Amino acid sequence: MLEKKTIEYEKAVLIGVMNKDQNEEKVNEYLDELEFLTYTAGGEVCKRFVQRIDLPNPKTYIGSGKMLEVEAYVKSNDIGSVIFDDELTPGQQRNIERQLKCKILDRTSLILDIFAQRAQTSYARTQVELAQYEYLLPRLTGLWTHLERQKGGIGMRGPGETEIETDRRIVRDRISLLKKKLLKVDKQMETQRGNRGALVRVALVGYTNVGKSTLMNVISKSDVFAENKLFATLDTTVRKVVIGNLPFLLSDTVGFIRKLPTQLVESFKSTLDEVREADLLLHVVDISHPNFEEHIDSVNQILAEIKSSDKKTIMVFNKIDQYEHQTIDDDDLITEKTNKHFSIEEWKNTWMRRVGDRALFISALNKENLEEFRKRVYDEVRDIHITRFPYNNFLYPEHLDEY
Ligand SMILES: Nc1nc2c(ncn2[C@@H]2O[C@H](COP(=O)(O)OP(=O)(O)OP(=O)(O)O)[C@@H](O)[C@H]2O)c(=O)[nH]1
Ligand SMILES: [Mg+2]
pLDDT tens digits, one per residue of 128-142: 899 998 888 888 765
Domains 10-110 and 198-402 agree in fold = yes
pLDDT tens digits, one per residue of 257-292: 988 888 888 777 777 888 999 999 999 999 999 999
Q: Give CA–CA dist 335/298, Å, rounded.
A: 29
Strand partners, 318: 286
CB crowding 127-147: b at 16 or more within 10 Å, else e: bbbbbbbbbbeebbeebbeee
Which one, of 79, 87, 85, lies nearest residue 147 by Cα? Answer: 79
Mapped onto helix, strand or coil, the DSSP state of residue 104 is: strand
Ligand 1 atom with least separation from CA of 284: 19
Which pLDDT value is given to residue 179? Answer: 92
Ligand 1 atom with least separation from CA of 216: 15
Q: Give CA–CA dist 44/122, Å, rounded.
A: 29
Probe target for ligand 1 pocket from 227, 230, 237, 274, with the most ligand atoms within 8 Å of CB: 227
Residue 242 burial (C-beta neighbours within 10 Å; 0-12, 13-18, 19+): exposed
Ligand 1 atom with least separation from CA of 210: 19
Tell me the mean pLDDT in the region 27-36.
94
Which one, of 236, 123, 132, lies nearest residue 181 by Cα? Answer: 123
Which pLDDT value is given to residue 146? Answer: 47
Checking if the pLDDT of 3 tops 50, the result is no
Q: Give CA–CA dist 403/247, Å, rounded.
A: 15
**Ligand 1 in reach of 214 Cβ (< 6 A):** yes
Q: Look at 15 and 399; give whichever has higher pLDDT.
A: 15
pLDDT tens digits, one per residue of 144-155: 554 544 556 777
CATH architecture for the domain at 198-402: 3-Layer(aba) Sandwich (3.40)
The residue contributing the CA closest to ligand 1 atom 9 is: 211
pLDDT tens digits, one per residue of 322-346: 998 777 666 665 667 777 788 888 8
What is the number of H-type helices and E-type strands within the chain?
Answer: 13, 10
Which pLDDT value is given to residue 194? Answer: 72
CA of 228 to the centre of ligand 1 (A): 6
Can you give the residue ranges of every domain in the chain? 10-110, 198-402
pTM of the entire predicted model: 0.86
The residue contributing the CA closest to ligand 1 atom 24 is: 231
Q: Give CA–CA dist 105/82, Å, rounded.
A: 6
Q: Which fold has domain 10-110?
A: Rossmann fold (3.40.50)
Q: How confident is the model at residue 223 (pLDDT cuts 50, 70, 90)?
A: low
